Amino acid sequence: MRLILHLASRYAFSKQNRHRGTSIRIAIGLALCLFAIVAVLSFMQALQRNQFEDIRTFESFDLQLDLGSVDLAAAESVAQKIEALDVVQNAFVYADLPVIAQNSEGSTVAGRLRGIEAEGRLLAQLNSYRGYLFQNGEIASSYSNTRSIHIDDTATLTFLKKGRVATVVPSKRDLKVGAIYYTSSYDFDQSTFLSDVPTLLSLQNDADLKIGVFTDADVVSVKKQIQELGYADVLTWMDVNASLYSAMELEQKMMGFMLFLMILVILVHIRNSSRRLLLAKQSEMAMLRSIGLTKSKVQLLFVLQAALVACIGCLGGVLLSYLGIALYPSISQYMYQSIGVHLILQIRFQELLLLFFTIVAFSLIASFMGTHRILKADIMEMFAHDEIS
Amino acid sequence: MMKSVDVLNLDHVSKSFPATGQGGEPIQILEDVSLSIQRATSTAITGQSGSGKSTLLQISAGLLSADTGNIKFEGKDLPGMNDEQRSRLRSRSMGFIFQNSLLLDDFTALENVKISAMIAQSSEHVALKKALDMLKLVGLGDRLDHKSDQLSGGERQRVAIARALVNEPSVIFADEPTGSLDEHNAQLVEDLLFSLVEDREVALMLITHNLNFAGRCNLIYRLHNRHVEVRS
């Protein structure tokens, strides 16, 4: 075995090896392919994570529960009950009211007023640019609307109320803009004015109250637990954003398909280079057989050689990947200029491990099959032909 | 003098190769060939180019399979052996010298010989000693660390001889060992081979065109029209 290991390492990367250059090129090819897959995977996952993160933090939360009630005290009690679940981090009351806001100069912004008891992730990522958020009787407008709505302005909010004769009637109310906020979600900022829940209820006292929930656990299982508490009308962020989510799922499937194609290209590369390397060694195999090395040992020798080249190539790919991720923050501003979002890249270790072993395993299989094919011939045929087919 | 014992027996061996073109008849190379090789004797196989001399040697050594016939090596049925048994035989009882002195190009002269000894289960230390001794015997004590492309044709052939002998085989199969050498080097290799037959009592099966070289052998077979005939 020691002899086989020695020969395998000599055949793979030794300075004295005539085919050292081929081995190095194969290893570099594998390293670059692995790096390319990891880079694409990390970017795509980061993009999706970024999009979903904003939705889950500001827009629909991880889960939401429509109480169908206007009783704030009862809603707060339900929120406390849900928050008592181990898997729930935060549960809070909120309500939305569609409004058109107009400043004293007549500029208008159409959107919604969200009355909310901001907690958890939402509060952590809600930034006050000027003023104080959630002051009773005041609203907060977003930084992206500052051209129309300024701090300390009195905004006239127009909204629909239930009427006595007509189903709904327009209603107006003046509220002071007490703060300017911003978040990382441009869409949310453009369309949302914020207030506390009592301020929203003072505009429309029959607004539907809802409970927002933040969790790190699987939302489907949390939904089940909340339903077991007796609240049937629970929606996950995937239910609420069904069309977006299915588009993302489609994108993910396409991404999976693209990665599959990339892996296929790598596997073809491995197969071809393994074949090239083995064919270059065909007469050496014949020589080793003629001086008494058994077929199985010759096969083991070249499988080990392939394993060595593949492992070194893959390790190079892993190093490149981690190096790329580590260096990314220093070039992220250029990415921000081109794609408009700050991405946090991560490598999922399990996926990397799977890729690593897939490539190494395929290298072993390709080498095993290649040597098996060559060794089927008589020794003299191996000497005589460039390629055994 | 040691009693002559058959180390190799070929009995009614035939071999054909498929035709290169489509639908052509197979090319019959050997037909009903029988011969035997004894220990401590040298046997030459002569014949015209393309008469099947190399094929006969390769079949005798188990490097190529015959279509029909029996081949016994040291009394054992060679084609009936499995790969492991045949490999063991090749490493311990057979030595090969090819016309083009096929060496492992990635390795030095010393390593070429040492690897052969290690394949025959010698420990690294013993293999190194054997390889050193053998290379000195063939006059290459000062070329140990030279790789194939740093050696002359005659030196490469002598490395091949050292490698063929390192495991003290009972038969050396030599296919045109001087075919690509100049006169001086050819003489050196010839002398070396015959001294080994005498000193080490190995059997030599030699393929050659050179009648003078063949004439130094104890027995000469001539291949003609796919059949073998004893010339002397």
Per-residue model confidence as pLDDT tens digits over B136-186: 888 888 889 998 888 888 888 889 888 988 888 989 999 888 877 778 878
- Amino acid symbol at A81: K
Identify which of B231, B172, B177 has the alpha carbon closest to the alpha carbon of residue B205: B172
User: If DSSP codes are grouped into helix, strand and coil, which group holds residue B147?
Assistant: strand
Largest CA distance in chain B: 55
Which runs of consecutive H residues, i.e. helices, occur in A179-241? 186-191, 197-203, 219-228, 237-240
Contact between A291 and B106 using a beta-carbon 8 Å cutoff: no
Exposure letters A33-64 (e unless 16+ CB within 10 A, then b): bbbbbbbebbbbbbbeebbbbbbbbbbbbbbb
Asked if A290 has any chain B CB less than 8 Å from its own CB, the reply is yes
Q: Tokens for A343?
A: 């991405």
Enter the DSSP assignment of B231. Answer: -
Asked if B99 has any chain A CB less than 8 Å from its own CB, the reply is no
Q: Tokens for B164?
A: 């063929």
Residues of B in contact with A13 (CB under 8 A): none
Residues of B in contact with A379 (CB under 8 A): 58, 63-64
- Selecting from B107, B108, B119 the residue whose C-beta is nearest the C-beta of A293 gives B119
**Residue listed under structure tokens 């063929």:** B164
Contact between B65 and A378 using a beta-carbon 8 Å cutoff: yes
What are phi and psi for residue A90, nearest 5 degrees?
-140, 140
Average pLDDT in chain B? 86
Q: Quick one: closest CA in B to A15, which residue?
A: B106
- Selecting from A14, A19, A294 the residue whose C-beta is nearest the C-beta of B87 gives A294
* Arithmetic mean of pLDDT, B203-220: 89
In whole angstroms, give the CA distance from residue B74 to residue B85: 13
Identify which of B26, B30, B5, B8 has the alpha carbon closest to the alpha carbon of residue B17: B26
- Selecting from A17, A290, A378 the residue whose C-beta is nearest the C-beta of B106 gives A17
* Arithmetic mean of pLDDT, B97-101: 76
Asked if B5 has any chain A CB less than 8 Å from its own CB, the reply is no
Determine contact, residues A365/A372, Cβ cutoff 8 Å.
no
Proportion of chain B above pLDDT 90, given as a percent: 27
Give residues 166 to 205 of B whose Cβ lies within 8 Å of A: 167
Contact between B102 and A11 using a beta-carbon 8 Å cutoff: no
Q: Tokens for A374?
A: 């060559």
What are phi and psi for residue A60, nearest 5 degrees?
-115, -5
What are phi and psi for residue A172, nearest 5 degrees?
-125, 150
Domain ranges of chain A: 2-54+246-384, 61-237
Asked if B156 has any chain A CB less than 8 Å from its own CB, the reply is no
User: If DSSP codes are grouped into helix, strand and coil, which group holds residue A250?
Assistant: helix
Beta-carbon pairs below 8 A across chains A and B: 70
Contact between A380 and B63 using a beta-carbon 8 Å cutoff: yes
In whole angstroms, give the CA distance from residue B232 to residue B220: 5
Q: CA of A287, closest CA in chain B: separation in Å?
A: 7
Asked if A15 has any chain B CB less than 8 Å from its own CB, the reply is no
Contact between A3 and B91 using a beta-carbon 8 Å cutoff: no
Tens place of pLDDT per residue across chain A (389 aa): 788 888 888 877 777 666 778 888 888 988 998 898 888 888 888 888 887 888 888 888 999 999 888 888 999 999 999 999 999 999 999 999 999 998 878 888 899 999 998 888 888 888 889 899 899 999 999 998 888 888 888 889 999 988 777 788 889 999 999 999 998 888 889 889 999 999 999 998 888 899 999 999 999 999 999 999 988 889 999 898 888 888 888 888 888 888 888 888 888 888 888 888 788 888 888 889 988 899 999 999 999 988 988 999 999 999 999 999 888 888 777 777 776 677 788 888 888 899 899 889 988 999 999 999 899 888 888 877 654 43
Distances (CA, A) of B7 to A174, A379, B95, B221: 115, 22, 13, 16
Mutate to test the interface with A, among B54, B100, B115 (most CBs of A within 10 A): B115
